[in-house]
Amino acid sequence: MAAQIINGKIISDQIKEEIKTSVEIDFLPQNIRPGLAAILIGDDPSSHIYVESKRKACEFVGFHSEVFRFSKDFKEIELIKLIEKLNRDDKFHGILVQQPLPHHVDQEKINLSIDPAKDVDGFHPVNFGKLLAGEETFIPCTPAGILELLRRYEISTSGKHAVILGRSNIVGKPIASLLMQKSSEANATVTVCHSATENIKMHTIQADILIAAIGRPHFVTAEMVNENCTVIDVGINRVSEPTLKNKYRLVGDVKFDEVSTKVKAITPVPGGVGPMTIAMLLKNTLIAATNFYNINQNA
Ligand code: GUN
């Protein structure tokens, strides 16, 4: 039987509408609006597309937003100076530095330079530590998007076996930590597989929830999953497709065509986790601005 398609586009549109309404009710009447500063470095085509999508989404919900651009051979100190200026600028409640960064940039130093109260990516060690401890904090946008999809599709993780492919700081580590928290919204038993894992199939075949975040096109095949599995595909891989106008096609880490005929539910690529990441960035920025202006959301 064909799997239920978990539609991230529809859910992200709903979330954007909710945020837009909150801006209209809680902010605009007081002549204030949430603000997001996006920093874009170098000429990576995917990063340019993502940052432009983020800017457009900000415009849609009524946020103030600005994009700050650096060429790929910029000096790290210039970036730190800009971040320090943005930390003091009350127009911006959220700051993000689009990744990947050029190799000469110390990612840890950049993460540390952002005010934790404006760290809407959740990459600052203080926020990352809070997440690990199960305290309230900014949840990195992709893991937050995955949790929101599962919640809105009423797919429970409590008592279930979640298998995660990938151990990155942006996705694998935070989603593993979030899913194993002691809470009725999480409560999963978690296995994390990575490049040194032997016999990955032995793990994936047991998964009630499989999260693929390794950046390898079509890595997960039908023989690696069971019929009751919910598959969340985080991969956004560009593969060459000479017949198409822009010469490439976006595919996930999962072989959608065959896996979707076997499992219970699955996210497509595009239209699954991708749009959710942007919606959750907006949500985190709304939370940062709500905290800054001390707005009581329940009022
Ligand atoms: N590049 C890929 N995903 C992300 C993300 O969530 N935040 C930032 N800043 N860069 C990314």
What digits encode the pLDDT tens for the residues 38-51? 999 999 999 999 99
Parallel, antiparallel, or unpaired: how do β-strands 189-193 and 161-165 relate? parallel
Smallest CA-to-CA distance from 101 within 118, 115, 80 is with: 80
Confidence label for 297 from pLDDT (cuts 50, 70 and 90): low
Of 49, 141, 171, the residue with max ligand 1 atoms within 8 A of its CB, to mutate for a pocket test, comes to 141
243 pLDDT exceeds 70?
yes
- The mean-pLDDT minimum among 85-99, 167-181, 231-245, 273-287 falls in 231-245
Strand partners, 41: 70
Cis peptide, bond prior to residue 34, ω within 30 of zero: no
Active-site pick, 26, 98, 118, 283: 98
Query: What is the end-to-end Cα distance of the chain in Å, rounded?
Result: 46
| 8 Å CB contact between 146 and 276 | yes
Q: Cβ < 6 Å from ligand 1: which residues?
A: 96-99, 121, 140-142, 170, 277
Query: Catalytic residue at 255?
Result: no
Confidence (pLDDT) at 299: 46
ω before 217 within 30° of 0 (cis)? no
Torsion (CA) 105, 108, 110, 113 in degrees, nearest 10: -150
Six-digit token string for 143: 């893991």
Task: Show the tokens assigned to 149.
Answer: 């999809």
What's the 135 CA to ligand 1 centre distance in angstroms?
A: 22
Residue 208 annotated to the active site:
no
Q: What's the rounded mean pLDDT across residues 152-159?
A: 98
Residue 26 has pLDDT above 90, yes or no: yes
91-95, 179-183, 243-247, 288-292, range with the lowest pLDDT? 243-247
Report the nearest-CA residue for atom 11 of ligand 1: 99
Residue pair 174/133 in contact by the 8 Å Cβ criterion: no
Per-residue confidence (pLDDT) for residue 298, from 0 to 100: 52
Q: Residue with the nearest Cα to atom 2 of ligand 1?
A: 99
Cβ-Cβ contacts under 8 Å for 114 (sequence gap 6 or more): 83, 87, 95, 97, 123, 124
pLDDT digits (tens, 9 = 90+) for 63-113: 999 999 999 898 999 999 999 999 999 999 999 999 999 999 999 999 999
Ligand 1 centroid to residue 108 C-alpha, Å: 14
What average pLDDT is seen over the chain? 96
Per-residue pLDDT tens digits for 168-221:
999 999 999 999 999 999 999 999 999 999 999 999 999 999 999 999 999 999
How many whole angstroms separate alpha carbon 256 and alpha carbon 231? 10
Give me the pLDDT at residue 296, please.
78
Helix (H, G, I), strand (E, B) or coil at 41: strand
pLDDT confidence bin for 140, thresholds 50/70/90: very high
- DSSP label at 101? P
